[in-house]
Chains A and B, each alone.
Chain A
């Protein structure tokens, strides 16, 4: 499912426009599975599944698989509807250069919410 991020993000013109000053690589960990997501000027250029020997990224987002499953559900329950909600509950760890994450927080929230079933709210 994570592989679909590229098409889902790049298909949203407004989201790509908001990310036009964003070029970075982030490490997304869904339980034991790691993904490297590369973004160039707001477009997702690659989504690569681990495991990796030496993954290089500007920051990482790590949460247990069951937490991401709730976050990506059609109607996430309270406490699972938003990246900051996961961080508040201490189940999502954001680590690394978080200036990039925070300066583009709306972009990352909306990009990751793209993995919800079609038609679900961001």
Chain B
């Protein structure tokens, strides 16, 4: 087989966040309207590989995904070895806005999944002017813990194995095997305690139920896409957000699960491309 390169370019960005130096891995492909992609808890930017490899998207969009600090190829900040990682709403918001500034992104379209979908709701509420449109994947206002999160980070349970095993059923039933297991591999590669630290935001700190109805879609259009097999953020929870946010557009994706862009890109793009067309027309 002849060697072939994807059009994705990866670079390391040095940036101060929360008063500390960070080395952050950023990938991008394409030209045009910036499309900033946020990965799920405990994973990394590789989840958006299909978007960056699809000319229907890259011909009109500069697709950008960064690995959050502690994730993927982004390092934790110096001193991490004596800390417990816990993501907060405030840190997550600051991180996204600072990275947008550093990359000189002018009102990007934001697409975020799971924790990325949750922070997308926070940003739609608090910083609507900074975005052309916001697309929340698997976006709900809150998720109650449904298992003991301590199992994600203790020495007698392999963190990577258990993280992947916990989320494996969130992958939609129809996902092709190769994409399903690629998605789970990212979970298996997560650093100790990182998935758990992200879930601090997802299940505790990032609860936005009391404020979600204040999102004003006249200031920033909001699109919600959720897979029907997701039992973490269920279709009902996404529909509840949609019904409380006037002007938002929602679609439940049959057969898909919690990681649509990564677990089943072919099916997911059938839902995403019309949304991008709508945004283009606004």
Contacts and interface: CB of A to CB of B under 8 A. Distances in A.
Interface in A75-89: 75-76, 78-79, 81-85, 87-89
B173 A75 contact: yes
Contacts of A79: 231, 234
A83 B158 CA distance: 19
A4 interface: no
B231 A89 contact: yes
Interface in B146-205: 146-148, 151, 156-158, 161-162, 164-166, 168-170, 173
B138 interface: no
A7 interface: no
A98 B149 CA distance: 12
A89 B169 CA distance: 13
Given A84-B147, A87-B146, A99 B169 contact: no
B165 A78 contact: no
Determine the interface band of chain A, counting residues with CB < 8 A from chain B: 20 to 34
Interface residues of B, number: 23
Interface string B227-247: 011111011000000000000
Nearest to B152: A102
Interface string A53-83: 0000000000000000000000110110111
A81 B172 CA distance: 9
A105 interface: yes
A81 B156 contact: no
Contacts of A78: 228-231, 235
Contact of B169 (A75, A81, A98, A103): A81
Contacts of B170: 82, 84
Interface string A91-110: 00000001100110110010
Contact of A106 (B164, B173, B235): B164
Interface in B222-271: 228-232, 234-235
A102 B151 contact: yes
B168 A99 contact: no
B228 to A, nearest CB: 5
B165 A81 contact: no
B161 A106 contact: yes
- Please give me the 6 A-B residue pairs with the lowest Cβ-Cβ distance, nearest first: A82-B169, A105-B165, A106-B165, A85-B231, A88-B146, A102-B151
